[in-house]
Amino acid sequence: MSDTNGAVPHVRRVGSDDLATIADTLAAAFIDYPWTRWTVPGSEHDLPRLRRLQEAYLTAFALPYGAIWATLDLKSVAVFVRNPAATPETADWDRITFLHGSDGIARVEQHEQAAAPLRPHHDWTLATVGTHPDYQGRGYGAAVITAGLADLDAHGGTCLLETSTDDNIRLYQRLGFQTVTTVAALAGSPPVTIMLRRRSGPAS
């Protein structure tokens, strides 16, 4: 989890003042991610739209109901959201729906119907982790996740995540997550693995 010089990247908790840069980082990180390709399909899958979509999700869920951890340069970000999060404002959800497009939001809802019954009880969701492509391979992702998990452990919270790539599964296993199940591919979707990290700190 160290950078190219062997040092652990410095991480801090961030907020709305850093929203634009965080959205840029996440858009670049997920431009080729299988899940994002499936839920923002077609010609509308580009960096400007993904940036707006990331900003919409952060505004609707992470800022009011969660915690965002990032490296000092904001090139890697981990977003944790309390479970259950409150229903977002109508305007925020309308924006998310528009940015996914009609096909994309239908796919999100289809996955949610399949995945929701399979998710075990959990206190937090690791909603997203992304490192700008120019900064990958330096341990940034592990550093921001570890910082967030340490904060959760202080309160004894369990954490759930979903991922679509084998490389991510191996990273999350090293950080204490265990596979619960895999949601089968739906109409061309990538399979989604559900993972859970149990309490590592004192009970709240």
Domains and CATH numbers, the chain: 11-197 (3.40.630.30)
Cα–Cα distance for residue pair 153/200, rounded to 1 Å:
5
111, amino acid identity: H
For 41-55, write each residue's pLDDT tens digit. Answer: 988 799 999 999 999
Mean pLDDT estimate for the chain: 92
Read off the pLDDT band of 6 (50, 70, 90): low
Tens of pLDDT, residue by residue over 90-138, are 999 999 999 999 999 999 999 999 999 999 999 999 999 999 999 999 9
Tokens at 127, concatenated: 């909603």
pLDDT tens, 65-97? 999 999 999 999 999 999 998 889 999 999 999
**Strand order through the sheet with 192-197:** 11-14, 66-71, 76-82, 124-131, 159-163, 192-197, 178-183
The whole-number average pLDDT for the span 184-199 is 89
Q: Which residues pair with 59 in a beta bridge?
A: none
